[in-house]
A and B are shown apart, each in its own frame.
Chain A
Amino acid sequence: MTVNVGVSAAPARSPWQGRAAEFARTRGSLIALIVLVVAFTAGNPRFVSLQNIHSIADAAAIVAVVAVGQTFVILMGAIDLSVEGVMSVSGVTISLLVANDRNSLDLGLLAIPVVLALGALIGFAAGVANTRLRIPSFMATLGFWAIGLGAATVLFGGSPPIIEQQSFLDIGLGHIFGFTKISYIALAVVLFAWVLQRYTRFGRYAYVIGGDESVARLSGINVDRYKILIFTFSGTMFALASILATSELGVGDANTGTGYLFTAITAVVIGGTLLSGGRGGIMQTLIGSLVIAVIVNGMILVGINPLAQQGIEGAIILLAVALTGWPLRRPLRVIK
């Protein structure tokens, strides 16, 4: 996490330096995306084929939904580590509520709002733990990760419930103009979140709380209320991501969420949203999600050894974050 120390510690910087830093933070990820696309296309022209673009969009979609939820939390200076727990319990729950081979509940598509409400409830509880029990968000959401995973394991009961609801499976398998339905849903989520960020009190107060929480309190804002709302929203987004992933998978799995925490936070940070809060936004998170999808997809297309891909992915991500933050470096800038 980065913290800017008091005004007098920050050396006076020329306007040019300030602009360069701001440019790198807000546009660096876009430039990185363009550079990556050009590089991978040079390595394999098929990278920019329509078919491959469809698959990149699909790969970025679910990450983007998780990252959208995470963005508001990080904007207000907190973090939500419950991603994988919420996704796991949501994934198993939805498979047990639609038509499946395990029980005869069969709520049909009504199961979707029920599971979204479950995600919202977990987020709400994490928000209450954070604001009322005064547990740091890092620890509170870590707890709900474990609780979610534990509940999923119990519900899972050893073998995956197989989903028999065709209308639900259609969400994951259907295409419109070549793009998966999931890509469109993710795009709609991003646009909705952008409106939230730009035009609603919910979104603006995420910036305000991340900018200076004590000032927000002194201005008579019910900070706790907005924090709880933001965690509720992130929990809902994680549940939505899990519903989309499960509809693709066709079975309920306690491991549905595995890997999404790292990827989503990386997407947010690469996008240029600062972990210290207050700066960044949804559109940058969208670009961050695309950068990661492009890296993963491009490595396959240019024929990098699959066994080495995960390690290389990690290295490229560190490099991207370091480059994005390069102009922000100052001798007395505190990084935690």
Chain B
Amino acid sequence: MSAAAQLEQTGILPEDAPVLRVEGVTKDFPGVRALDDVTLELRRHEVLGLVGENGAGKSTLLKVLAGVTPSDSGRIVVRGAPATYHNVAGAQRTGIGMVFQDQALIPNVTVAENIMLGAEGGAVRRGLYRWRELNRRAQVQLDKIKARVSPGALTESLSFAERQLVELAKVLGIEERIDAEPIVLLDEPTTVLEREEIETLFAQIERLRTCASVIFVSHRLDEVLGVSDRVYVMRDGKCVAELDPKTSDVHELHLIMVGRGLSESYYQEAEQREPEPAEPRLSVQGLTLPRHYENVSFDVLPGEVMGIAGVQGSGREDVCRTLFGALAQKSGQILLDGRPARLASPAEAVQAGIGYVPADRRSEGIIGQMSVAENMTLAHIWRVLRGLVIDRGAEDRLAREWIDRLAIKVPSHRAQAGNLSGGNQQKLSLAKWLVSDRLKVLVLDHPTRGLDVGAKAEVYALVRQLSDRGLAMVLLSDTLEETIALSHRIIVMKDGEIVDRLDAPASAKPTQVAVVEKMV
């Protein structure tokens, strides 16, 4: 007997029936088929891992399920009944809630207001708030995941991890509204979390298992394998494999995701050349900003990559912001090619020959509405100025040259930068600095964040090339593996101070354990 038939007869769903079935869902965006006849099912109290390269369709699938984007064809069956919703509120009434990639909380209102937002129910009567009732109801949701967050707290005063908990609590509120266990969609919630926060989150997913069914999208394959009951692999908009985590490993997932395995040459370590002894290109001496970092000193030679390892709050981010003139130090100095540099603002840092590739390329690296060519000359407009006017011809030539040199995939150099894929946007945000012949130092702030395996490999290759070109680089990275593989030398920061310095030549890379021991 089918689940739907049984539901009709008895009014209850059999225990092992899927709570959610996706049947042949297809979604086209202009020029690309984001979802191609996707079929999958989610069982009760199951954690379903969804992995794939960037652009494989994971996020699109979640958005279709959450009611953010309509699908073109196919159907979604929730608890045996075909779903008809076409917006987020409708999806929630069906019992599907999503925790979005970029946290979807209102910063300036209380935790309780966020949790109950748009679904205040009896906590708001005739437009009037009953705060005590609102806080009580929010507390019920927070208790489900044992979150120690006060419903009355202002949301922006919370840490990232606490806000993540509030998001989960918000989604779990669906349960009371529809009188059924919710289906929770988690989209890459771990990308900007530090190790400890990741562990908290995975503990939460374990807890969710008892009161919800979860679809979990992540790039952290080992964690996906650890927490999931089943794993679907997506590639080019299709579900290409269903795996049992107990019998699979990360290597196998990589193979299926990219159609090839990760080879030894992934980080192109063989391409790493040791810098010639020379005067340091960048010299940081006794840099101090109370409560941020203390007495930070290091030298970076031409062609050298200096990795800075450290957990959140170690001060490494602030040191990089100071290098780029976005945060002023209290004392200490920065020398470029032996001369003291005044870096009171990003504009002065650019003048001095420092480039900064930000972690959040969409909001800080590129300007989405501008063309690829315009983005490239953004920081160095003087390269294409003739008198007071921009020489379009020169700009075009420059853009075409760098599109070729970095193999940026664009329909034309006049295409809108916002339409490029993540990897190509990152190359563009690098090119923005490389067009300058004055560039001496490049600060790479999580240069591969959110990129898929293929795009990461291309960024690594680029870093090697730039190193050959004699550029000094300072690297902050999401993973230790990446830091160790790319860097010539590594400094480890903890609580604002440098606690260790390690050499990392291609022939003798330190182990991750050696670095972690100093970090925490």
**Contact across chains for A220 and B119 when beta carbons are under 8 A apart:** yes
Dominant SS among interface residues on chain B: loop
Given A201-B120, A332-B326 in contact, is the A6-B364 Cβ separation under 8 Å?
A: yes
Among B89, B318, B328, which residue has the most Cβ atoms of chain A within 10 A? B89
Residues of chain A contacted by B223 (CB below 8 angstroms): none
Chain B nearest Cβ from A19, distance in angstroms: 11
Q: Which one, B44-52, B355-363, B381-389, B501-509, is touching chain A? A: B355-363
**Contact across chains for B129 and A215 when beta carbons are under 8 A apart:** no
Residues of chain A contacted by B360 (CB below 8 angstroms): 6-9
Q: Which one, A105-113, A204-212, A234-242, is touching chain B? A: A204-212
**Bound-complex Cα distance A200 to B346 (A):** 44
Name B130's closest neighbour in chain A (CB-CB).
A199
Tell yes or no: A202 within 8 A of B by CB.
yes
Chain B 102-120 against A: per-residue CB contact (8 Å), 1 yes, 0 no? 0011111100010001111
**Contact across chains for B358 and A219 when beta carbons are under 8 A apart:** no
Residues of chain B contacted by A202 (CB below 8 angstroms): 127
Query: Among the listed B119, B129, B292, which residue makes an inter-chain contact with A199, where contact means beta carbons less than 8 Å apart?
Result: B129
**Bound-complex Cα distance A207 to B106 (A):** 9
**Bound-complex Cα distance A6 to B129 (A):** 31
Number of interface residues of A (CB under 8 A): 30
Kindly identify, within residues 84 to 104 of chain B, every residue whose CB is under 8 Å from any CB belonging to chain A.
87-90, 92, 100, 104
Residues of chain A contacted by B106 (CB below 8 angstroms): 207-208, 211-212, 215-216
Range for the number of chain B residues in contact with chain A = 35 or more
Kindly identify, within residues 26 to 71 of chain B, every residue whose CB is under 8 Å from any CB belonging to chain A.
68
**Contact across chains for B364 and A9 when beta carbons are under 8 A apart:** yes
Residues of chain A contacted by B445 (CB below 8 angstroms): 8
Chain B nearest Cβ from A10, distance in angstroms: 9
Chain B nearest Cβ from A53, distance in angstroms: 34
Tell yes or no: A218 within 8 A of B by CB.
yes
Residues of chain A contacted by B104 (CB below 8 angstroms): 212, 215, 218-219
**Contact across chains for B88 and A219 when beta carbons are under 8 A apart:** yes
**Contact across chains for B109 and A208 when beta carbons are under 8 A apart:** yes
Tell yes or no: A279 within 8 A of B by CB.
yes
**Bound-complex Cα distance A204 to B108 (A):** 10
Number of residue pairs spanning A and B whose beta carbons lie under 8 angstroms apart: 96
Given A200-B128, A204-B113, A219-B118 in contact, is the A278-B108 Cβ separation under 8 Å?
A: yes
Tell yes or no: B327 within 8 A of A by CB.
yes
Name B105's closest neighbour in chain A (CB-CB).
A215
Tell yes or no: B345 within 8 A of A by CB.
yes
Residues of chain A contacted by B100 (CB below 8 angstroms): 218
Tell yes or no: A331 within 8 A of B by CB.
yes
**Bound-complex Cα distance A6 to B358 (A):** 11
Query: Among the listed A199, A201, A217, A331, which residue makes an inter-chain contact with B346, where contact means beta carbons less than 8 Å apart?
Result: A331
**Bound-complex Cα distance A218 to B360 (A):** 22
Tell yes or no: B317 within 8 A of A by CB.
yes
**Contact across chains for A218 and B88 when beta carbons are under 8 A apart:** yes
Chain B nearest Cβ from A335, distance in angstroms: 14
Tell yes or no: A221 within 8 A of B by CB.
yes
**Bound-complex Cα distance A199 to B291 (A):** 39
Residues of chain A contacted by B117 (CB below 8 angstroms): 208, 215-216, 219, 221
Residues of chain A contacted by B327 (CB below 8 angstroms): 11, 331
Tell yes or no: A315 within 8 A of B by CB.
no
List the 3 shortest-distance A-B pairs measured between CB atoms, nearest first. A220-B89, A219-B118, A211-B106
A12-B317, A201-B129, A204-B109 are known; give 10 further A-B pairs, CB within 8 A: A6-B364, A8-B317, A8-B445, A11-B321, A201-B128, A208-B117, A215-B104, A221-B118, A331-B326, A331-B328
Q: Interface on B for A, CB 8 Å cutoff?
A: 68, 87-90, 92, 100, 104-109, 113, 117-120, 124, 127-129, 131, 291-292, 317-318, 321, 325-328, 345-346, 358-360, 363-364, 445
- Name 19 A/B residue pairs within 8 A (Cβ), A-sorted: A6-B360, A8-B317, A8-B360, A14-B291, A14-B292, A200-B128, A200-B129, A201-B129, A204-B109, A207-B108, A208-B106, A211-B108, A215-B105, A218-B104, A221-B117, A278-B107, A331-B325, A331-B327, A331-B346
